[in-house]
Amino acid sequence: MKRIFLKTVIAATALAAMGLAQAQTRTIKFANQNAAGHPIVLGMEKFAQIVEAKSGGKMKVNVFPGGALGSDQANVSALQGGTLEMASMNSGIFASIVKDFAIYDFPFLFGNAKEADAVVDGSFGTGLHKKLEEKGIVGLTYYELGFRELTNSKRPVTKVEDIAGLKLRVIPNPINVDWVTALGANPTPLPFPELYAALEQKAVDGQENPVATIRGAKLYEVQKYMTLTNHQYNPQSVVISKRFWESLSSDEQKILRDAAVESAKYQREQSRSQAASILEELKKSGMQVSELPPAEVAKLREKMKPVIAKHSASVGEATVSAVMAELDKVRK
């Protein structure tokens, strides 16, 4: 019995070694807009560690945070052209090439992290990533940026009417422009790397991002007021250039896909465990934090309904129905 067990172990070890041997020496550039130390970047670094271990050191991932390799839009073009291997970015950004991705930017789509996980990890999320392939990009998994909050340098926002008149930076896509407009504010689409300077120079009054991003980009230095609105939840797609993907062996592809899924679990844990402590840090840094009363949240949701109706038509009823069906399952 011991000999049989020993032979099994030796055979398994040999197979593992063969798998590693089939991985070629490769260097992968992995880009993101968030600063070092952000939960997204921690996930990317975990991914790099797992890939190196699984490939026996043959595949190395170099992480480029802070927009070092350009804006998200520039990264999308580089992925399609094959000059950038990997990136992680707000899934809604891909709406510019696959309209269905705009669903992820719908205000108040997800009520909590459990709902978001069920959608992005299920058939809906994987199916949406599949649609990127005809555009030259392969989706591996989803990290999370988290729930977005509103900040500005002008005044406390304690009721919906306080938002009117503010000039707010938004992610450059139509739905974000529309929901800000619906609140009587002035949307200013800007790539993330340009945000700090725009706030510092008062070109815009405010912005909206999760607390980890606000801390990581040091926006507390140029923003005094924060309102906890949880108006959007941002999944982050972890993607790879299709040109690069197709140059890999099946073993190498498995290493990267498995590492992506494993790192996503770690990344979301980091994101969620850090949220409360980061909020306290922001308060200590001088930010005045307020929370909308339930009646004001109800008013905010009401103002979002025409925006959701408009973009449901453009995204497609089939896509909207599919995501709502997934949400119904988890809510039951």
DSSP 57: T
How confident is the model at residue 31, as a pLDDT?
98
- C-alpha to C-alpha distance for 307 and 176, rounded to whole angstroms: 9
State whether 138 and 256 are in the same domain: yes
- C-alpha to C-alpha distance for 300 and 265, rounded to whole angstroms: 32
- C-alpha to C-alpha distance for 190 and 146, rounded to whole angstroms: 20
Residue 6 is assigned to a structural domain of this protein: no
Query: b/e per residue, 85-96, with b = 16+ CB within 10 A?
Result: bbbbbbbbbbbb
CB 160 within 8 A of CB 303: yes
Amino acid present at 254: K
- C-alpha to C-alpha distance for 233 and 42, rounded to whole angstroms: 19
State whether 194 and 305 are in the same domain: yes
Rounded to two decimals, what is the model's pTM?
0.87
State whether 243 and 295 are in the same domain: no
State whether 224 and 123 are in the same domain: no
Give 85's contacts (C-beta < 8 A, 6+ positions apart). Answer: 28, 29, 30, 79, 240, 241, 244
Residue 10 is assigned to a structural domain of this protein: no
Q: Which residue, 261, 277, 293, sits at the end of a domain?
A: 277
How confident is the model at residue 23, as a pLDDT?
77
How confident is the model at residue 172, as a pLDDT?
85
Residue 16 is assigned to a structural domain of this protein: no
Residue 203 is assigned to a structural domain of this protein: yes
- C-alpha to C-alpha distance for 284 and 290, rounded to whole angstroms: 14
For residue 327, give the nearest of 177, 178, 119 by alpha carbon.
119
State whether 198 and 287 are in the same domain: yes
How confident is the model at residue 3, as a pLDDT?
53
State whether 125 and 191 are in the same domain: no
Give me 84's structure tokens: 């950038």
Instruction: Look up the CATH number of the domain holding residue 192.
Output: 3.40.190.170
Give me 209's structure tokens: 């991002």
Residues spanned by the domain of 220: 149-232+279-326
Give 190's contacts (C-beta < 8 A, 6+ positions apart). Answer: 169, 170, 172, 198, 204
State whether 194 and 89 are in the same domain: no
How confident is the model at residue 332, as a pLDDT?
86
Task: Report how many domains make up the chain.
Answer: 2
State whether 287 and 226 are in the same domain: yes
Ranges under pLDDT 70 in the chain: 1-21
State whether 85 and 155 are in the same domain: no
For residue 191, give the nearest of 72, 97, 85, 91 by alpha carbon.
72
For residue 217, give the nearest of 145, 159, 165 by alpha carbon.
145
267: left (phi over 0), alpha (psi -120 to 50) or beta: alpha
